[in-house]
Amino acid sequence: MTSETSAIKQQAWLPTFLGWILANPVLVAGMLAVIIPTMLLVAHESWSTEQGAHGPIVLATGLWLLIREWHKAQPLFDPPAGKTVAMLFVPLLLLYFVSRVSHIVETEGFLMYGLLVVVLFSFAGWRAIKLMWFPLLYLLFVLPPPETFVAAITNPLKVFLSHGAVSLLYHLGYPTASAGVTIQVGQYQLLVAEACAGLNSLISLSAISLFYVYLRHHAHPRYALLLFLTVLPVAAFANFVRILILVLLTYHAGESAAQGFLHDFAGMTMFMTALITIFAIDHLIGRIWPGLKGKAAEPAIAKAT
């Protein structure tokens, strides 16, 4: 296939997509009736906060990846039977309605997403959905995770990191002590809030790490999963560095300096530390275990053509 023919095929998705919209006006209207109110709620409740600020970026890059993979998956399209689709769609729609009425943003967002995936499945089939696994997984980071799940991870992490930082500084000669998530340094008292214990960085780092490894290597799912599992310890290490910086800033420059511009600077330092660590782990795994980064999607298309 020439590069010219390939380019023409890559640009052909737009008229096809517009034709599908015109051919299915009722379905499109129903999807919009679900998407618009839920995404407005997510934008208001999550994207406007520091924890969910990565949402719009993930949405834009995720849709770009989905469109790209949709084009690659077209030879594998095999729509399932209507009964199969109905068995998945109807229960999700009922649960979505209950969640919408209850104004529970976490469950409403994920149920909306489930409905959209089922609609996609009804047109593409299971084989094509499997090929598009990464964009579908990545787009989940647009939605806020359940607070109970986040608290179960970050609360023990806050206590562990605060005790670790205090212990290290105490052995270095600083007058530090801790009780739970409260740190005493000199005459100052600090609270290790969620922002200093992985809540902000954990979700965004997970999304960026997955996007990085997929875009650079188009990696096998097992490799993406391996790198994803490193995110939690990397985020913990980066936040440990941030807590140390903030405690030292508070002790040497005062509480006002530590809570102002330098607080934000410490957060940027933490995030860059985490990203560099992720890149270093990726490079190290590539040197030790190069076969783990093998491509998974191309053979599936080759077999279908």
Which residues are tagged catalytic? Answer: 196, 242
Cβ contacts of 237 within 8 Å, gap of 6 or more: 273, 274, 277
For 179, the enclosing helix (H) or strand (E) is: strand 176-179
Cβ contacts of 183 within 8 Å, gap of 6 or more: 162, 165, 166, 176, 177, 189, 190, 191, 192, 243, 247
Quick check: 76 and 147 in contact, CB under 8 A? no
Distances, alpha carbon 237 to alpha carbons 125, 195, 295, in Å: 42, 14, 30
Quick check: 274 and 203 in contact, CB under 8 A? no
Look up tokens 């089922």; give the residue. 118
Question: Distance between CA atoms of 166 and 278, rounded to whole angstroms?
Answer: 26
Q: Helix 82-102 to helix 105-124 angle, to the nearest 10 degrees?
A: 160
Give which of 270, 29, 46, 215 is closest to 141, Cα–Cα. 46
